[in-house]
C-alpha cells in the first residue's frame, strides 16, 4: 500500500517544513515538497495540519498486578486508547518475580501483549532480585531487546531492592549497554513516616502525599546518580515529580554526567490539593511519587525547557475508582497506586506546553517522541520523519477543540484525572507502520497488529 500525505507541515524535533510524506508499505520513502502521487496511492490531505512522528510513551503499566489487584487496561484497551491520543509505541514493564528468572517474566508479558496490542510495544524489565543468575539474566534480556531495567528504591518488602543490588545492576550495564531506570524515593524512610501516620489515625488519601516528602525523592535521586557515577554509567530517573528531585538531576548534568529524567503530565498540571477531594475521591490521585504543591509545576516546565528533563511519559497505571481505589477506603496504604493518562499525553503537553508558549512545537515532538526513541534504543526507526523510518505518523489538528472526560475517553477506567480540561490540538489521523489506525475519532486498527520492539542497547543515554 502506498500513501501520500499531502499539503501538511512536517514537524520533527529539529525542523518545521511544509512537505509531503510518501509512505510505501510500512515505511516512509520520501519527504519533500510537492511529491507526485504514484498510481493507485491513497491520498491523505493534511492541509492546515501538522504531520508529527507518532508519540512514544516510555512508561506504561498494562495488565499489571499491583496492590492486590490488576491495572484496569490490558494491552488491547490500553494501546487502543493510546492510539486515539496519537501514541503509536509504548514501552511497558515486565516484572521479575522474586526468586524467579527474568525470562519467565518476559514470556508472561509477551503473552499478555500477543494478539492484543494495537500498536508496537517494547518492554523494560523490573528487577526484584539479582541473586543467583540475575546478572546473566540481564544480559539475556538485552539480547532479547529488553534494553532497560527498572529498579525500585521504594516499596520495601514488595519491589524495593537494596543499594548493593542497584549498584550491581548499574555496573552490569557498563558491559551490556542497557539503561537503568530508577524509581527514586527513599522507601525505608517513607515507611517509618507512614507507620507513624497510621498510628495517629491518619488514614485518608491525603496522607499518601504527606508521608512521601519531596526530600525523600531528592535523596534517592541523589543516591541513584551517585551510584551511577561511581559505576561510570548513565541513569534515567522515572516519573520525577518535584523541584527538589529536579535540582539533583540538574546539578549532575551541569557536571557533565549522563543523568536523564522524565516527568509526567500529572506532575506538570495537578497538585496535592486533588488528594483532599471529598467522598474519598482523593484516591483517584493516589500514585507514587505523589502530587506536590503547585509551586513545583513551573519548575518542572522549566526543566523541560532547559533539557534538565528530557521526556514526558504517562506512568499510565489505571485502577477503577468504584471497585479498586476503594480497597483503601479505611487505609490510604491499601489504595492501589497509579493513575490513567495514556490517551491524553499529547493533548495535554501540546495545549499546556505549546499553546501556552512554554515549549516550541519541535520541543513538543522531541520530549514526547524523538528523545524516548533515542534513549530507549528505537531511533531512527521510531521518533523520526525521514526515509527509512517506520511510518508511525500523526496528522495533528492544531485547532481541534476537545474536552477530556471519562464519558468519552477510551481507557478502561471509570474516571479521568483531567476531567473537564479543555484542550486545543488533537490527533486527527494516526498511522502505525503505514496503516491508518485512527481517523476522525474512529478506530480502524486491530488488536494484535502491534509488534514487539526489539530495542538496541547503548541508545542515546550512552552517547
Ligand atoms: O503509582 C504508581 N506510579 N504506580 C505505578 C508503579 C510505579 O511506581 O511506576
Ligand atoms: Zn515507579
Ligand atoms: Zn510506573
- Cβ of 370 below 6 Å from ligand 1: no
- Cβ of 63 below 6 Å from ligand 1: no
Closest approach atom of ligand 1 to CA 159: 8
Three-state DSSP class for residue 360: coil
Closest approach atom of ligand 1 to CA 61: 5
- Cβ of 316 below 6 Å from ligand 1: no
Grid look-up 490513567 returns 340
Is the per-residue pLDDT at 57 higher than 90?
yes
Q: How far is the CA of 1 from the centre of ligand 3 (A)?
A: 37
Q: In what order do the strands lie in the sheet with 16-18?
A: 16-18, 9-11, 50-53, 393-403, 422-432, 435-439, 442-443
- Cβ of 85 below 6 Å from ligand 1: no
d(CA 226, CA 217): 14
Task: Give, using CA atoms, the residue closest to atom 4 of ligand 1.
Answer: 338
Instruction: Select from 315, 316, 319, 413 the residue to mutate for testing ligand 1; criterion: most ligand atoms less than 8 Å from CB.
Output: 315
- Cβ of 183 below 6 Å from ligand 1: yes
Looking at all shown ligands, the one closest to residue 314's CA atom is: 3
List, for residues 197-239, the tens digit of each pLDDT value.
999 999 999 999 999 999 999 999 999 999 999 999 999 999 9
What residues does the ion ligand 2 have nearby, CB within 5 Å?
A: 183
Q: Quick one: average pLDDT of 305-320?
A: 98
- Write down the pLDDT at residue 203: 98
User: Across 165-303, where does the E strand assignment appear?
Assistant: 179-183, 235-237, 259-263
Q: How many other CB atoms are there within 10 angstroms of residue 82's CB atom?
A: 36
- Cβ of 61 below 6 Å from ligand 1: yes
Grid look-up 507518532 returns 54
When the pLDDT of each residue in the chain is averaged and rounded to a whole number, the result is: 98
Q: Quick one: average pLDDT of 28-48?
A: 97
Q: Length of the chain in residues, anyone?
A: 463
Instruction: Select from 185, 337, 417 the residue to mutate for testing ligand 1; criterion: most ligand atoms less than 8 Å from CB.
Output: 337
Contact 427, 85 (CB under 8 A): yes
Q: Quick one: average pLDDT of 96-105?
A: 97
Is the per-residue pLDDT at 391 higher than 90?
yes
Q: Quick one: average pLDDT of 393-405?
A: 98
Quick one: pLDDT band at residue 463, thresholds 50, 70, 90?
Answer: confident
> 39 Cβ partners below 8 Å, 6+ apart?
none
Q: Is the dihedral of CA 64, 68, 72, 74 positive or negative?
A: positive
> 56 Cβ partners below 8 Å, 6+ apart?
87, 88, 89, 90, 91, 368, 369, 372, 373, 376, 378, 382, 383
Q: How far is the CA of 439 from the centre of ligand 1 (A)?
A: 31
- Write down the pLDDT at residue 364: 99
Task: Give, using CA atoms, the residue closest to atom 7 of ligand 1.
Answer: 288
β-partners of residue 52 are 394
d(CA 303, CA 308): 5
List, for residues 407-425, the tens digit of each pLDDT value.
999 999 999 999 999 999 9
Contact 367, 312 (CB under 8 A): yes
Task: Give, using CA atoms, the residue closest to atom 1 of ligand 1.
Answer: 287
Q: How far is the CA of 317 from the centre of ligand 3 (A)?
A: 7
Is the per-residue pLDDT at 143 higher than 90?
yes
Grid look-up 488491547 returns 76
* pTM exceeds cut of 0.95: yes
d(CA 95, CA 125): 6
Closest approach atom of ligand 1 to CA 150: 9
d(CA 416, CA 208): 19
- Write down the pLDDT at residue 118: 99
Percent of the chain residues past pLDDT 70, beyond the cut:
100
- Cβ of 92 below 6 Å from ligand 1: no
- Cβ of 288 below 6 Å from ligand 1: yes
Beta strand 65-66 with 55-60 is unpaired
Looking at all shown ligands, the one closest to residue 60's CA atom is: 3
> 157 Cβ partners below 8 Å, 6+ apart?
none
- Cβ of 433 below 6 Å from ligand 1: no
Cα 233 to chain centroid, rounded = 22
- Cβ of 150 below 6 Å from ligand 1: no
Is the per-residue pLDDT at 139 higher than 90?
yes
Task: Give, using CA atoms, the residue closest to atom 5 of ligand 1.
Answer: 338
Is the per-residue pLDDT at 18 higher than 90?
yes
Percent of the chain residues past pLDDT 90, beyond the cut:
100
Amino acid at each position: 500500500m502506498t500513501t501520500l500525505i499531502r499539503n501538511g507541515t512536517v514537524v520533527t524535533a529539529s525542523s518545521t517544513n511544509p512537505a509531503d510524506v510518501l509512505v510505501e508499505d510500512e515505511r516512509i520513502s520520501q519527504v519533500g515538497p510537492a511529491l507526485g502521487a504514484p498510481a493507485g496511492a491513497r491520498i491523505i490531505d493534511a492541509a492546515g495540519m501538522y504531520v508529527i512522528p507518532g508519540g512514544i510513551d516510555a512508561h506504561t503499566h498494562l495488565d499489571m498486578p499491583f496492590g492486590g489487584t490488576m491495572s484496569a487496561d490490558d494491552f488491547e484497551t490500553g494501546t487502543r486508547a493510546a492510539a486515539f491520543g496519537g501514541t503509536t509505541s509504548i514501552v511497558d514493564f515486565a516484572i521479575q518475580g522474586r526468586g524467579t528468572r527474568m525470562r519467565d517474566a518476559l514470556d508472561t508479558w509477551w503473552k499478555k501483549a500477543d494478539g492484543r496490542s494495537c500498536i508496537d510495544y517494547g518492554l523494560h524489565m523490573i528487577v526484584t532480585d539479582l541473586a543467583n543468575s540475575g546478572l546473566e539474566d540481564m544480559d539475556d534480556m538485552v539480547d532479547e531487546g529488553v534494553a532497560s531495567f527498572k529498579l525500585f528504591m521504594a516499596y520495601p518488602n514488595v519491589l524495593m531492592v537494596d543499594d548493593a543490588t542497584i549498584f550491581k545492576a548499574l555496573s552490569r550495564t557498563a558491559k551490556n549497554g542497557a539503561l537503568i531506570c530508577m524509581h527514586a524515593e527513599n522507601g525505608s524512610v517513607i515507611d517509618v513516616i507512614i507507620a507513624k501516620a497510621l498510628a495517629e489515625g491518619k488514614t485518608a488519601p491525603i496522607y499518601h502525599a504527606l508521608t512521601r516528602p519531596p526530600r525523600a525523592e531528592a535523596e534517592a535521586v541523589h543516591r541513584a546518580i551517585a551510584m551511577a557515577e561511581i559505576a561510570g554509567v548513565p541513569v534515567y530517573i522515572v516519573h520525577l515529580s518535584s523541584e527538589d528531585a529536579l535540582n539533583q538531576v540538574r546539578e549532575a548534568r551541569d557536571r557533565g554526567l549522563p543523568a536523564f529524567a522524565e516527568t509526567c503530565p500529572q506532575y506538570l498540571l495537578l497538585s496535592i490539593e486533588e488528594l483532599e477531594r471529598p467522598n474519598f475521591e482523593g484516591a483517584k490521585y493516589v500514585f507514587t511519587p505523589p502530587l506536590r504543591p503547585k509551586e513545583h509545576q513551573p519548575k518542572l516546565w522549566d526543566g523541560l525547557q532547559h533539557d534538565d528533563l528530557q521526556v514526558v511519559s504517562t506512568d499510565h497505571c489505571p485502577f477503577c475508582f468504584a471497585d479498586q481505589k476503594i480497597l483503601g477506603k479505611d487505609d490510604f496504604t491499601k489504595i492501589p497506586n497509579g493513575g490513567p493518562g495514556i490517551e491524553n499525553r499529547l493533548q495535554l503537553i501540546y495545549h499546556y506546553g505549546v499553546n501556552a508558549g512554554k515549549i516550541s512545537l519541535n520541543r513538543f515532538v522531541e520530549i514526547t517522541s524523538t528523545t524516548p526513541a533515542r534513549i530507549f534504543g528505537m531511533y531512527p526507526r521510531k521518533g523520526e520523519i525521514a526515509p527509512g523510518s517506520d511510518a508511525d505518523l500523526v496528522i495533528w489538528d492544531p485547532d481541534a477543540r476537545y474536552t477530556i472526560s471519562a464519558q468519552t475517553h477510551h481507557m478502561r477506567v471509570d474516571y479521568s484525572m483531567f476531567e473537564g480540561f479543555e484542550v486545543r490540538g488533537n490527533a486527527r489521523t494516526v498511522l502505525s507502520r503505514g496503516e491508518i489506525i485512527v481517523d476522525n475519532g474512529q478506530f480502524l486498527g486491530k488488536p494484535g497488529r502491534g509488534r514487539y520492539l526489539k530495542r538496541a542497547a547503548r541508545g542515546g543515554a550512552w552517547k
